[in-house]
Amino acid sequence: MNYIESEAKALAAKHGTNDPFEIARAEGIAIYYRDDFTKLKGMYKVILRRRCVFLNAGLPEEELRYICAHELGHDRLHRAATAKAGLCDFVLFDVKNKLEYEANLFAANLLIDDMEVSHAAVNGLTAAELAASLGVPENLITIKAANYEKRRQFHPPRELKNAY
């Protein structure tokens, strides 16, 4: 399990839920819905030591859920990076930006359980079908599945297996 995955799972376990809105409230993160965001989907910023998530009020509730999870990822992983400027998300799946990829990986691990990915693979579900059933974008499924497969492919060398 990598650091980002363990952070997401620990946060969900701590609060007994993977609902990003409940977690944000429990963590003392203020959520603000903005009517004046046109292209901006969400933003994370620390203002006067107060952790804040700003969400585009014009987006569907399902979309706000994974955007909030993404912004929680910024809170857990990149809080120091917001000291001078907030992290603004116009495009959530920018694979060239390391901070955005990490926040997406966090969101994927918060919202999608390993067993759901495993069950989907065994039952021949496509990423699109699993995404639709979970109410998340297909890109999150792809990120989660790639991370899951990467972990499954790791096998310790025979010397390590025999050492115990």
pLDDT along the chain (164 residues), means of 10: 90 97 98 92 90 95 94 90 62 68 93 86 86 89 81 52 42
> Which of the 8 DSSP states describes residue 31?
E
Domains and CATH numbers, the chain: 3-111 (1.10.10.2910)
Residue with tokens 């965001």: 37
The SS3 call for residue 46 is: strand
The SS3 call for residue 156 is: coil
- Residue count of the chain: 164
Burial of 2 (0-12, 13-18, 19+ CB in 10 A): exposed
> Which of the 8 DSSP states describes residue 39?
S
CA–CA distance from 146 to each of 94, 118, 149, 163 (Å)? Answer: 16, 12, 5, 30
Distance between CA atoms of 9 and 148, rounded to whole angstroms? 14
**Sheet of 87-89, strand order:** 30-34, 50-56, 42-47, 87-89
Return the structure tokens found at 3.
């650091």
Distance between CA atoms of 88 and 91, rounded to whole angstroms? 9
The torsion of the CA quartet 68, 71, 75, 80, rounded to 10 degrees, works out to -160
Q: So what's the pLDDT on residue 161? A: 44
